[in-house]
């Protein structure tokens, strides 16, 4: 079966750096997405990776290793507003999005 | 603002009621989706419409009935729901579901409670 694993919850301190991991086993691979979802709000698109390596976008970076079935989202200079759930999703060979259950990130002052 | 709106934002209904959820996208996309989001579970894809045609129905019970009159509007008609149907229902849209880079944009969801 297809599966996306990510930690259920993480805690970090304001101003610090946090890495949220995502591992996947899917039927084929056509890209990996990260979304941010604040409580009670819409998931919003953060990043897309299809090639191995690091994609940087301001304070947020996303890394992909296709051979290891692994990605991470790196958040730098954490702010209180970064408290949210982070969803990892992989597009499989049928172009279906397979979703992880999300990682709830709690930022403490 | 993501360009996808949903109404109502909250809905409480009894098991014998009939209600409808509405979604509208202002992004000029061709595809629209309904998802169910339950606490601590992955998003569950329910239905996909591409150019108004239903292309995906992931074994969703018939008490959920989708309608897509045009590429900008999507409805989910609800009747005789069960308490386990209580969840956040998310609508999304995208340009081309057959493309690897296709990105889905979500509405804020309808929080549904079935009593």
pLDDT digits (tens, 9 = 90+) for A43-101: 999 999 999 999 999 999 999 999 999 999 999 999 999 999 999 999 999 899 999 99
Q: Does A30 touch chain B (CB under 8 A)?
A: yes
Query: Measured between CA atoms, how close is B82 to chain A, in angstroms?
Result: 22
Q: Does A36 touch chain B (CB under 8 A)?
A: no
B101 CB neighbours in chain A (<8 A) are 31, 48, 50
Q: Does B46 touch chain A (CB under 8 A)?
A: no
The answer to whether A102 contacts B99, with C-beta atoms less than 8 Å apart, is: no
Q: Which residues pair with B6 in a beta bridge?
A: B23
CA distance B110 to B2: 15
Q: Does B31 touch chain A (CB under 8 A)?
A: no
B100 CB neighbours in chain A (<8 A) are 30-31, 50, 91, 95
Instruction: Output Rg (C-alpha) for chain B, integer angstroms.
Output: 13
Query: Running DSSP on this structure, what letter comes out for residue B15?
Result: T
Closest CA to B76 of B42, B40, B30, B45: B45
Among the residues of chain A, which ranges form H helices? none
pLDDT interval class at B1 (50, 70, 90): low
A92 CB neighbours in chain B (<8 A) are none
pLDDT in tens, A13-44: 999 999 999 999 999 999 999 999 999 899 99
């Amino acid at each position: 079966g297809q599966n996306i694993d990510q930690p259920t919850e993480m805690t970090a301190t304001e101003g610090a750096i946090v890495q949220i991991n995502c591992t996947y086993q899917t039927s084929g691979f056509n890209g990996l997405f990260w979304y941010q979802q604040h409580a009670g709000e819409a998931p919003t698109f953060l990043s897309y990776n299809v090639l191995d390596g690091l994609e940087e976008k301001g304070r947020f970076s996303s890394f992909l290793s296709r051979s290891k079935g692994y990605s991470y989202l790196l958040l730098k200079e954490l702010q209180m507003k970064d408290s949210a759930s982070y969803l990892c999703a992989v597009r499989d060979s049928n172009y279906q999005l397979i979703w992880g259950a999300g990682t709830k990130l709690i930022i403490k002052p | 603002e993501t360009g996808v709106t949903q109404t109502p934002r909250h809905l409480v209904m009894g098991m014998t009621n009939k209600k409808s959820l509405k979604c509208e996208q202002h992004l000029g996309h061709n595809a629209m989706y309904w998802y169910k989001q339950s606490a601590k579970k992955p998003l569950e894809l329910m239905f996909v419409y591409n150019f108004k045609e239903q292309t995906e129905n992931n074994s969703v019970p018939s008490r959920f009935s989708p309608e897509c009159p045009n590429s900008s509007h999507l409805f989910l008609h609800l009747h005789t729901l069960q308490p386990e149907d209580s969840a956040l229902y998310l609508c999304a849209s995208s340009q081309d579901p057959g493309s690897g880079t296709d990105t889905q944009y979500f509405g804020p969801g309808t929080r549904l409670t079935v009593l």
